[in-house]
Structure 1
Amino acid sequence: MIISGYTINFISYAVPLLLITGFVLIRLDAGGNRKQGNKTEYKLSLVLGWTNVALGIFMYLLRNLLH
C-alpha cells in the first residue's frame, strides 16, 4: 500500500514477531505446562508455537521471493 509516496510494509514487523512469539510459546509456555502436568495446554502451546514459527518462515520466504 502506498500512501503519499511512502510504502507501508507490515511484513517487516510481522515476521520477527511471529518467530519470537513462536519460540517463546515453545520454550517457556510449553515447558511450564509440561512441568505442571497440563497436557492440553502443553499440546496447544506447541501447536500455536509451531504455527507462529511456520507462518513467520513462510512470510519471510514469500517476501524474499517477491522482491
Structure 2
Amino acid sequence: MITGGSISFSVYVIPMLLLSGLLILKVDVKRYALPGMQKEKKASQFLGWFNLILGILLLLVNSLLQIW
C-alpha cells in the first residue's frame, strides 16, 4: 500500500486549458467573424481568454506549490 502519494490531475488539466484556449481563439473566433454572429464571436473570445488565463494561473500556482 502506498501512503503519502496523491494523484494530480493538473498534469492533464493545465495543458488542456491552454490548448483549448488557443484553439478557440484561432479557429472559432475567425469562424464567428461573419456578419450577424457577433454574440457568438464575443462569447468565444471570452471563453478562449478565460481558458488561457485560468491555465496560466493554475500553472503558476502548481509551480509555486511544488517549490514549497
- Give TM-score scaled by structure 2 length: 0.86
CA deviation vs aligned residue, 1:27-62 (integer Å, no higher than 9, x gap):
10011100x221000000000000000000000000
Alignment identity in percent? 33
Q: Provide runs of 4+ in structure 1 moved above 3 Å.
A: 3-6
Q: Distance in 2 between matches of 1:39 and 1:30?
A: 10
Local SS of the residue matching 2:13: helix
Higher Cα Rg, which structure: 2
**Shift in Å, 1:4:** 3.9
> What residue number does 2:62 align with?
63
5 Å-filtered alignment, 1:40-59, equals: 40-59=39-58
**Shift in Å, 1:7:** 2.3
Instruction: Pick the structure with more helix per residue.
Output: 1
Aligned CA RMSD, in angstroms, stands at 1.5
The count of aligned residue pairs is 64
